[in-house]
């Protein structure tokens, strides 16, 4: 595409760039979808045009990530943050319904183990604590959230090693965030890495739950079938903000109202119940139709033009390798420091570094913009520089960024 867009290299952490051909098609659909003379945002979500869009998105997602039939794919709202709550509420209702024959008096609050490796998993844990507050002061809590491992003392700049985990032997759920977007920490794909998520240490019946918001569709999901719930906000690799994807094991689709009547778990707002979403094919209420439409276009594009998940993995590995090796070299010249020192804990999606020298960072960011390299400023909570390399960031953009970084010492 000619013009400003072609000269812009957008490294935003989310919302993030979308593939230009998809946006071009979406722009047409916004005005006149499928020659109806009406735009996609002007069509009923229950009409004959929209239903195939949701169904197609689900089918393509299933294909891309090889999601087994044991798991449902759902589209919902309220972002990743919505699922900090949604996960806890649905898991507690599921566990209560599984133990329906236990009286309220004898019911033990479920143990929810959290692996806290950054701001997002920390927020998820905090929400679990909030939702566990007893219904009456001094009463029985709804759950017992614990921390199974954390890298807080290292300011979340690495991952726990296998021996650092203390997963409860009676854990009912183990939760982790696959990619911590702010500091740029990601669980490695290699199961033999000391930083790999310790699937084998999770008790057999414990539900594994993962936040994949910032790494979704960037590469295969390790042990996808062993997860009870995987969720991701769309706005990094999938589409515009406004839609959240859930991959949920089908036995978790329980009637939460019935579970709640047994006592021992909180009421689940109707919009948050996974069963309601599933029973209504993700169309219980008016969904974010435009966000789902664009996501559906992206999914088709990833399958047809980007070589599916294997193609994406290959390209994303290449982009991350190129940038990290440039940064390591620049670090050896003393002009910058990489935030994540343990190479196997480094995120492919969010690459973080700090420029050495007062005022140098501002200069770096201003110089970058002159070259069309945008949205490189680190998260406001930690500062520094962050280059997000989501799927729509082309390898040429990363090359231009690497060339620019080399000018710091050449």
Residues classed as catalytic: 120, 211, 236
- For residue 69, give the DSSP letter: T
**Residue 231 in the binding site for ligand PLP (CB under 6 A):** no
Helix, strand or coil for residue 387? strand
Q: How far is the CB of 236 from ligand PLP (least distance, A)?
A: 7
**Residue 211 in the binding site for ligand PLP (CB under 6 A):** yes
> Among the candidate windows 60-68, 188-196, 206-214, 329-337, which touches ligand PLP by CB under 6 A?
206-214
**Residue 184 in the binding site for ligand PLP (CB under 6 A):** no
CA 197 to chain centre: 16
**Residue 186 in the binding site for ligand PLP (CB under 6 A):** no
d(CA 383, CA 329): 22
d(CA 395, CA 407): 19
Q: How far is the CB of 354 from ligand PLP (least distance, A)?
A: 20
Q: Give the pairing of strands 185-186 and 71-76.
A: unpaired
CB neighbourhood size of 171 (10 A): 22
By beta-carbon proximity to ligand PLP, the closer residue of 14 and 287 is: 14
By beta-carbon proximity to ligand PLP, the closer residue of 16 and 256 is: 16
Binds ligand PLP (CB under 6 A): choice among 233, 239, 266, 287: 233
By beta-carbon proximity to ligand PLP, the closer residue of 29 and 242 is: 242
With a CB cutoff of 8 Å and minimum separation 6, the contacts of 243 are: 75, 76, 77, 233, 234, 287, 288, 291, 292, 295
Site for ligand PLP in 107-136 (CB under 6 A): 120
By beta-carbon proximity to ligand PLP, the closer residue of 350 and 397 is: 350
Q: Mark residues 291-330: x for contact with ligand PLP by CB under 6 A, - for none.
A: ----------------------------------------
Phi, psi of 406 (to 5 degrees): -65, -25
Phi, psi of 234 (to 5 degrees): -75, -20
**Residue 389 in the binding site for ligand PLP (CB under 6 A):** no
Binds ligand PLP (CB under 6 A): choice among 85, 132, 150, 181: 181
With a CB cutoff of 8 Å and minimum separation 6, the contacts of 97 are: 254, 255, 258, 259, 262
Query: Do residues 352 and 339 make contact, with C-beta atoms less than 8 angstroms apart?
Result: yes
Size of the site for ligand PLP (CB under 6 A): 11
> What are 208's strand-pairing partners?
174, 227
By beta-carbon proximity to ligand PLP, the closer residue of 59 and 271 is: 271
**Residue 80 in the binding site for ligand PLP (CB under 6 A):** yes
d(CA 343, CA 192): 14
> Among the candidate windows 73-81, 185-193, 221-229, 326-334, which touches ligand PLP by CB under 6 A?
73-81
Site for ligand PLP in 330-369 (CB under 6 A): none
Tell me which residue has its CB nearest to ligand PLP. Answer: 79
C-alpha separations of 375 from 263, 363, 370 in Å: 48, 14, 12
**Residue 81 in the binding site for ligand PLP (CB under 6 A):** yes
The residue ranges that bind ligand PLP (CB under 6 A) are: 14, 79-81, 120, 177, 181, 211, 213-214, 233
């Amino acid at each position: 595409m000619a013009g400003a867009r072609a000269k812009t290299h957008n490294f935003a952490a989310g919302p993030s760039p979308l593939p230009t051909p998809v946006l071009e098609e979406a722009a047409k659909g916004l005005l006149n979808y499928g020659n109806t003379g009406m735009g996609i945002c002007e069509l009923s979500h229950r009409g004959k045009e929209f239903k195939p869009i949701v169904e197609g998105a689900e089918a393509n997602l299933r294909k891309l990530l090889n999601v087994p039939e044991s798991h449902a794919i759902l589209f919902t709202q309220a972002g990743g943050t919505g699922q900090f709550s949604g996960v806890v509420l649905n898991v507690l209702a599921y566990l209560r319904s599984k133990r329906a024959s236990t009286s309220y008096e004898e019911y033990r609050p479920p143990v929810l183990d959290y692996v806290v490796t950054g701001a997002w998993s920390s927020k998820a844990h905090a929400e679990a604590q909030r939702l566990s507050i007893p219904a009456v002061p001094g009463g029985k809590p709804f759950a017992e959230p614990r921390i199974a491992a954390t890298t807080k003392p290292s300011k979340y700049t690495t991952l726990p090693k296998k021996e650092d985990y203390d997963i409860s032997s009676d854990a009912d759920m183990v939760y982790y965030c696959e990619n911590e977007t702010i500091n740029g920490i990601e669980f490695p794909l290699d199961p033999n890495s000391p930083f790999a998520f310790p699937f084998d240490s999770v008790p057999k019946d414990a539900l594994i739950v993962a936040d994949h918001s910032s790494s979704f569709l960037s590469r295969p999901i390790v042990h996808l079938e062993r997860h009870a719930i995987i969720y991701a906000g769309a706005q990094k690799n999938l589409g515009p903000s406004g839609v959240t994807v859930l991959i949920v094991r089908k036995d978790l689709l329980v009637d939460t109202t019935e579970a709640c009547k047994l006592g021992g778990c909180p009421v689940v707002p109707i919009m948050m119940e996974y069963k309601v979403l599933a029973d209504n094919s993700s169309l219980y209420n008016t969904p974010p139709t435009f966000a789902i439409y664009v996501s559906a276009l992206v999914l088709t594009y990833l399958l047809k033009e980007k070589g599916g998940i294997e193609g994406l993995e290959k390209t994303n590995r290449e982009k991350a390798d190129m940038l990290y090796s440039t940064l390591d070299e620049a670090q050896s010249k003393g002009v910058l420091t990489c935030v994540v020192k343990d190479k196997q804990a480094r995120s492919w999606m969010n690459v973080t570094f700090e420029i050495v020298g007062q005022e140098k960072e501002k200069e770096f960011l201003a110089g970058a913009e002159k070259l069309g390299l945008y949205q490189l400023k680190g998260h406001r909570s930690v500062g520094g520089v962050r280059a997000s390399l989501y799927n729509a960031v082309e390898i040429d953009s990363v090359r231009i960024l690497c060339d620019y970084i080399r000018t710091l010492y050449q």
